[in-house]
Amino acid sequence: MALLIGDTAPDFEVDSTEGPIKFHDYIDGSWAVLFSHPADFTPVCTTELGYTAKLKSDFEKRNVKVIGVSVDPLDDHKRWSADIEETQGTALNFPLIADPGRVVADLYDMIHPNADSTLTVRSVFVIGPDKKIKASFAYPASTGRNFDEILRLIDSLQLTAKHQVATPVNWKSGEDVIIVPSVSDEDAKKKFPDGWKAVKPYLRLVPQPLD
């Protein structure tokens, strides 16, 4: 059965380019992004991992640990890392899990047999400090992911976990947010004393909370 939002992210213990990892211990109070790529020494994956490495400070300021995974062995990961640095201009700076036994791939349903029976698709799981899955999605091997969108998603997840708000279409950090319908106007006056814009009774826009 596929993992759903709100499920506990399965724990695992595997080797990586940064040594052995026990996943739940590795998260240790942080958020995490676990993402799979189909294979080492492939073009799209090379661009994805290089770009993710360039976003290291962006993930760190959000208290997010990034982990990549594929079904290739550790030696291939280490050799491929040199190609990533050479072609993308940034060295790999996050763990890349070696999963030749498909332990992680099977736990997280990263192999979709109708696409490929052996290689992982481009799965992404955003996991909270409580070890719960907060968001997930999958792309085919042919399409590189938008990691700026993953950062935007994390901004929304972290904001809405702290405040009783939701984020509208195409929202970016700093823009107005929506007071969730479960908050009455009476309670909203206490929570948002500066008021809000009521487009409809169920659509109340308010500046993004800053704390």
189 CB neighbour count, 10 Å cutoff:
13
Nearest CA among 37, 107, 106 for reference residue 72: 37
Our CA dihedral for 184, 186, 187, 192, rounded to 10 degrees, sits at: 110
Catalytic member of 21, 33, 34, 45: 45
CB 38 within 8 A of CB 122: yes
Rounded to a whole number of angstroms, the CA Rg of the chain reads 19
In whole angstroms, give the CA distance from residue 20 to residue 113.
Answer: 28
In whole angstroms, give the CA distance from residue 201 to residue 63.
Answer: 35
Q: Is 183 a catalytic residue?
A: no
CB 169 within 8 A of CB 152: no
Strands 96-98 and 64-70, by their bridges, are: parallel
In whole angstroms, give the CA distance from residue 53 to residue 55.
Answer: 5
In whole angstroms, give the CA distance from residue 206 to residue 195.
Answer: 7
Give the SS3 label for residue 154.
helix
Catalytic residues: 45
